[in-house]
Amino acid sequence: MSVRFVEVADRVHVLREPLLHVNVTLVVGDGAALLVDTLSTAAQARELADAARAVTPHPWTLVNTHHHFDHCFGNATLAADPPRPVYAHELAIAALRDRPDELRRAAYEEIRDEQPALAAQLGDTELLAPTHPVHSETVLDVGGRRVVLRHPGRGHTDADLVVHVPDADVLVAGDLVEQSGPPAFEESYPLQWPDAVAELLRLTTPSTVVVPGHGEPVDVEFVRAQHTRLVDQAWLIRAGHTGNAPPERVAAESPFGARPGLIAARRGYAELDGTA
């Protein structure tokens, strides 16, 4: 994996990991830096550290947008020695602290067919739970730059954070927004996801650069279009549930395709049944 950061706005840089197209964002201030997400393994995190050091020598604070392996399993490499603060939603911290074996196993099963070499490394990856919980909002000073960490509500998970850099007009959306593929619904709340993206959109201007969890940076119109599809998906789920339709029937009409639509329908039905 050979990776480097590309500047997308004033002293805001994005690195895209080539296997899963995960984005890491580096915000550079005066004498300090912020890294948003830490990739999947110690090896990936070491390359990420080298790429960040090619941009800035400043010490960094870390943020995890959520607790899925491809966004936080590099924490121990980047924050353990020397110890660095790591921010995440309080539920993401609880997952990494209390269920590390479960998270490693789920990660392995998720990618063993698509990326067997990467999957094999996950079993030996040391997990480091974040140190600084975020409930609804936390404001950081990154070398004189105001950076806002916000939980916009349940969406991709129950523990999503977005990172807003107002002076650069950049919004790091995590997996609430996806560009390189459809949204991932496996641990989602599809009936609440549209509201989370609507909250995210309230932080934007017409010129905001939005960094999705995976893929190319996008503009606000891309996010609005994805929001519309999420609204349509939620409506289909509610209508199907009311009409006692099987999830497969809802999936057949999903704006994201049959396979993501089926996962979304099952998760949405669970929400409506009170079991999600």
Is residue 89 assigned to a domain?
yes
Is residue 242 assigned to a domain?
no
- CATH code assigned at 131: 3.60.15.10
Work out how many domains the chain is built from and give that number.
Answer: 1
Type of residue at 188 = S
Task: Classify burial at 191, counting beta carbons within 10 Å of its beta carbon; exposed 0-12, middle 13-18, buried 19 or more.
Answer: buried
For 218-233, the pLDDT digits (tens) are 999 999 999 999 999 9
- Return d(Cα 141, Cα 122) in angstroms, integer: 33
Q: Place 124 in a pLDDT band, splitting at 50, 70 and 90.
A: confident
- Beta-bridged to residue 27, according to DSSP, are 12, 34
Calculate the CA 149 to chain-centre distance: 13
For 22-34, the pLDDT digits (tens) are 999 999 999 999 9
- Return d(Cα 184, Cα 112) in angstroms, integer: 17
Type of residue at 177 = V
C-beta neighbour count of 203 within 10 angstroms: 17
Residue 85: its pLDDT value, please?
98
Q: Which domain holds residue 175?
A: 6-219
Is residue 275 assigned to a domain?
no
Is residue 72 assigned to a domain?
yes
Is residue 272 assigned to a domain?
no
Position 1 pLDDT exceeds 60: no
Position 2 pLDDT exceeds 90: no
Is residue 128 assigned to a domain?
yes
- Beta-bridged to residue 178, according to DSSP, are none
Is residue 251 assigned to a domain?
no
Mean pLDDT of 152-176: 98
Is residue 232 assigned to a domain?
no
For 56-112, the pLDDT digits (tens) are 999 999 999 999 999 999 999 999 988 999 999 999 999 999 999 999 999 999 999
- Return d(Cα 24, Cα 12) in angstroms, integer: 11
